[in-house]
Amino acid sequence: MVGISPKKLGSSSPKIAPRENRNEWAWPLAVVWLAALVYAAFLSWRPYAAPRALFDPFHALKLFLKAGGLAFVKRMRYLEGAGLNILLFVPFGYLLPLLWKRVDRWWKVVLCGFVLSLLIELTQLVTHLGMFDLDDLMNNSLGAFLGWGCFCPALRQEPGG
C-alpha cells in the first residue's frame, strides 16, 4: 500500500512515500510477477522436438499488415503475442527501480529488461520450451521502458526526489 505523508504547508498535493517504504509491497508484487513470468515463458509451453527460433524482426507486425483482407479481429491475433509480451514486462520496469536503487535511469531498466528477456529466450531455445523470437526481445524491452515511464512520476513526487 502506498503511504501518504502529511501535506507540507503550502502544498496542495499529497506526497508519495519514499522508496524504502514502498518496498514492503514491492517485494510481494515482484514475487507474483516472477511466478507469472516463469509460467508464461516456460510452464505454458509443450516441449518441441527440436529448437525453434525466429530471427525476423517485426514478424508479427508484418503478418498483421499482410493479412489486410481478413477481418480486423482475425488480424489482431498476429499482434496478441506482442501485446502480451509488452504487458508482461511493464511490472518489471516499474518494480526494478523500486527494488534496486542502482537502476535509476531509463536505459538501465531497458538494458536489464533486455538481458532478462535474452536469458529467457536462450533458455527456451535450449530447453525446447517455447521459441526464441527476436520480436520478444524488442517487445519485452519496450514493456520495461513503459514500466519505467510509469515509475518516473512517482519518483519525482517523492521527498528529495
Query: Distances from the Cα of 146 to the Cαs of 20, 94, 113, in angstroms?
Result: 22, 8, 11
Residue 30 is predicted with a pLDDT of: 95
Q: Which residue has the cell 516441449?
A: 47
Residue 11 phi, psi (nearest 5)? -95, 135
Residue 3 is predicted with a pLDDT of: 46
Q: Given a cut of 80, is residue 51 above it in pLDDT?
A: yes
pTM of the predicted model as reported, rounded to 2 decimal places: 0.78
Name the nearest CA neighbour of 87 among 40, 120, 53, 131. Answer: 40
Q: Given a cut of 80, is residue 161 above it in pLDDT?
A: no
Strand, coil or helix: 4: strand
Instruction: Report the alpha-carbon angle 98-151-137, nearest 5.
Output: 90
Instruction: Report the alpha-carbon angle 16-149-6, nearest 5.
Output: 5
CB 41 within 8 A of CB 120: yes
Q: Given a cut of 70, is residue 4 above it in pLDDT?
A: no
pLDDT digits (tens, 9 = 90+) for 108-157: 999 999 999 999 999 999 999 989 999 999 999 999 999 999 887 766 55
3 vs 93, residue with greater confidence:
93
